[in-house]
């Protein structure tokens, strides 16, 4: 299917696009060759004294029928992948309380408190042929910001996951996601729905048990028994991932549980705020809070990759948590990007990673008419392309120790701090792609009207206009384009050069760079 970003928002399949809302609300060294000398605290099999053996969750399935989870509208079997396959998982989970003060350095100690039985689900997408499996599983903490499960990292990075042979597992780790499955509210927005009784047997005891549930599911993937979720595939590496709300869960997991459970080979933290999720509690009921500003601990001995958009720094307030890169931590901030952009809302559903029109920069106020209607055109920047590069860089880091490149941070100045812009209006610094180096628009992560959070008791689909996370796009007029480029050929030449530069620096993959070049070659920016 050919994607036309100018017309896709008017695609006849509008109802399924509602589910994109759930994707909204997640000393430097170039090598880790000295990993063992620094720490084995969070390294699987590292044998550190603090490691606690985690029981594997019980696995039931695969469950017949179609799982309730927004995904892509692409033909997975045609790409050598299974369709979404669901398993029920159960066990006895622990809640945890803090031992030491939960300080901003993230070096937390926790201990088990009460226990409770649970029964939840996972959704698996994997290569059909073991020969096509790269050995890495992305275990994504599903996002429940809209009141039901969604997989924003699968949606953002699925083209890279598929072409490079990853397996992906989405975990319903939190109570809101399970509740929405059980009461039917999640099924109501999924075309075709499911049987009324599909999820009646599920039981989630509360979010204070979510970290233990996540660990037990990871253990079931690492050491499978009956009903192995990956079938005949053998996981060699597991990456824990979470975006936005789930990024907050990842921060808490890395700081509190990675040293104790030592189950993951790397962490992918995408679009976080300055703080993190509570150790115990949820948005409306926090019993063991974490600091308002917290950084990723620096003593784990395994890689953590963090990717941030412009929106995340000030709209979501992550900037105070910024920390230096080190031997096991990288922070990439992407210029010209928004937390929930046009790709988040719309384009990811049909993206096979082969259609150049996915690289277009267009103005779209209503990516989902009647549902997502913003006052300013939403951001159409390159976030997902850089996310693809970040995922590959993290996996390479894990596999052979080659660390990702260190990226410049977005330029910030003033009190209160704000972005420093170039003469055209785009932010300076950060990861630079052709979208800001050879621009045809102002692309920002800010600019939409902001809600008054003091009057909002709970962030969900009904209480808030999520446009505030979407940034803006403002195409240049003919005079501005003419001041930058002699003609379209000059634009294409300069775009090719800036795209090649991003590839050479490791911030853009060759496959995605070609899409950007091909689209530029097929269009005329000066056409009326």
pLDDT digits (tens, 9 = 90+) for 314-329: 999 999 999 999 999 9
Sign for the pseudo-dihedral over CA of 189, 195, 197, 201: negative
pLDDT band at 6 (very low <50, low <70, confident <90, very high): very low
Check residue 455 and give its pLDDT: 56
Give the phi and the psi of residue 308 in degrees, each rounded to 5: -130, 145
Distance separating alpha carbons of residues 253 and 238, to the nearest angstrom = 15
Number of domains in the chain: 1
The model's pLDDT over 371-416, given as tens digits with 9 standing for 90+, comes to 788 999 999 999 999 999 999 999 999 999 999 999 999 999 999 9
DSSP 8-state assignment for residue 156: H
Most confident range, picked from 58-67, 196-205, 492-501: 492-501
Query: Which contacts qualify for 493-498: CB closer than 8 Å, 24 or more apart?
Result: 494/438, 495/434, 495/438, 495/520, 496/520, 497/438, 498/432, 498/433, 498/434, 498/437, 498/438
**91 domain-assigned:** yes
Please check whether residue 263 is in contact with residue 45, taking contact to mean a CB–CB distance below 8 angstroms: no
CB-based contacts of 462: which residues, under 8 Å, 6+ apart?
A: none
Q: CB neighbours of 356 closer than 8 A, spacing ≥ 6?
A: 515, 516, 518, 519, 522
- From the CA atom positions of the chain, what is the Rg in Å? 22
Residue 350 in domain: yes
Q: Is 415 left (phi over 0), alpha (psi -120 to 50) or beta?
A: beta
Cα–Cα dist 223/449, whole Å? 48
Three-state SS at 133: coil
In a domain, 3, yes or no: no
Max mean pLDDT among 68-82, 345-359, 391-405 falls in 391-405
Give strand pairing partners of 118.
91
Among residues 460, 367, 429, 475, the alpha carbon closest in space to that of 180 is found at: 460
Q: Taking 80 as the threshold, does the pLDDT of residue 452 lie above it?
A: no
On whether residue 527 sits in a domain, the answer given is: no
Cβ contacts of residue 488 below 8 Å, gap of 6+? Answer: 524, 525, 526
- For residues 418 and 412, the answer to whether their CB atoms sit within 8 Å is yes
Q: Which of 399, 401, 32, 56 is nearest to 238 (CA)?
A: 399
In this predicted structure, what is the pLDDT of residue 282? 66
Higher-confidence position of 144 and 461: 144
Domain with 337 in it: 8-522
Answer whether residue 48 is part of any domain: yes
**DSSP character string of 264-301:** -SEEEEES--SS---SEEETTEEEE---SS----S-SS
DSSP 223: S
Flag whether pLDDT at 219 surpasses 50: yes
Pairing assessment for the beta strands 441-444 and 472-475 based on DSSP bridges: antiparallel
pLDDT tens digits for range 225-248:
888 999 999 999 999 999 999 999
- pTM (2 d.p.): 0.91
Mean pLDDT of 97-112: 94
Question: Does a structural domain hold residue 45?
Answer: yes
DSSP string, 402-419: BPPPPPPPBPEETTTTEE
528 occurs within a structural domain:
no
Residue 30 has pLDDT above 60, yes or no: no
Q: Is the pLDDT of residue 135 over 80?
A: yes
CB atoms within 10 A of CB 421: 13
Bin 445: left if φ > 0, else alpha if -120 < ψ < 50, else beta.
alpha
Say if residue 4's pLDDT is above 60: no
- Higher per-residue pLDDT: 269 or 458: 269
């Amino acid at each position: 299917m050919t994607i036309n970003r100018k017309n896709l928002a008017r695609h006849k399949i509008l109802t399924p696009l509602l589910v994109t809302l759930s994707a909204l609300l997640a000393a430097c060294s170039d090598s880790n060759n000295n990993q063992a000398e620094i720490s084995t605290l969070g390294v699987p099999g590292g044998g550190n004294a603090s490691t606690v053996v985690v029981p594997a969750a019980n696995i039931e399935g695969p469950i017949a029928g179609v799982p309730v989870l927004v995904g892509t509208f692409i033909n997975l079997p045609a790409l050598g992948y299974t369709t979404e396959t669901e398993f029920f998982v159960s066990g006895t989970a622990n809640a945890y309380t803090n031992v030491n003060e939960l300080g901003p350095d993230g070096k937390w100690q926790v201990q088990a408190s009460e226990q409770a039985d649970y029964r939840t689900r996972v959704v698996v997408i994997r290569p059909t042929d073991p020969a096509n499996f790269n050995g890495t599983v992305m275990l994504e903490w599903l996002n429940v910001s809209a009141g039901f499960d969604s997989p924003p990292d699968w949606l953002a990075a699925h083209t890279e996951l598929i072409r490079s042979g990853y397996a992906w597992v989405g975990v319903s780790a939190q109570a809101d996601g399970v509740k929405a499955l059980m009461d039917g509210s999640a099924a109501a927005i999924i075309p075709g729905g499911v049987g009324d009784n599909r999820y009646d047997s599920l039981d989630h005891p509360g979010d204070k048990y979510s970290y233990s549930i996540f660990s037990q599911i990871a253990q079931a993937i690492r050491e499978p028994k009956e009903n192995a979720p990956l079938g005949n595939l053998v996981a060699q590496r597991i990456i824990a991932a979470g975006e936005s709300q789930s990024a907050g869960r990842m921060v808490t997991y890395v700081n509190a549980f990675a040293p104790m459970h030592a189950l993951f080979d790397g962490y992918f933290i995408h679009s976080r705020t300055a703080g993190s999720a509570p150790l115990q509690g949820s948005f409306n009921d926090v019993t063991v809070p974490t600091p308002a500003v917290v950084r990723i601990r620096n003593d784990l001995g395994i890689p953590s990759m963090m990717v941030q958009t412009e929106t995340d720094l000030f709209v979501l307030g992550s900037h105070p948590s910024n920390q230096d890169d080190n031997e096991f931590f990288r922070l990439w901030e992407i210029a010209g990007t928004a937390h929930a952009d046009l790709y988040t809302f719309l384009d990811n559903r049909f993206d096979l990673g082969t259609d150049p029109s996915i690289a277009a920069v267009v103005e779209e106020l209503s990516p989902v008419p009647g549902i997502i209607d913003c006052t300013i055109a939403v951001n159409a920047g390159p976030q997902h392309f850089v996310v693809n590069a970040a995922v590959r860089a993290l996996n390479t880091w894990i596999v052979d120790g080659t660390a990702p490149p260190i990226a410049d941070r977005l330029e910030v100045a003033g009190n209160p701090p704000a972005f420093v812009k170039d003469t055209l209006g785009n932010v300076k610094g950060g990861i630079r792609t052709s979208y800001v180096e050879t621009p045809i628009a102002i692309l920002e992560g800010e600019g939409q009207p902001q809600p008054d959070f003091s009057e909002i008791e709970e962030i969900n689909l009904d209480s808030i206009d999520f446009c505030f996370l979407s940034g803006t796009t403002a195409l240049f007029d003919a005079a501005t384009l003419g001041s930058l480029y002699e003609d379209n050929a000059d634009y294409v030449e300069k775009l090719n050069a800036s795209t090649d530069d991003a590839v050479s620096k490791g911030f853009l993959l060759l496959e995605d760079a070609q899409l950007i070049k091909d689209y530029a070659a097929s269009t005329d920016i000066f056409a009326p």
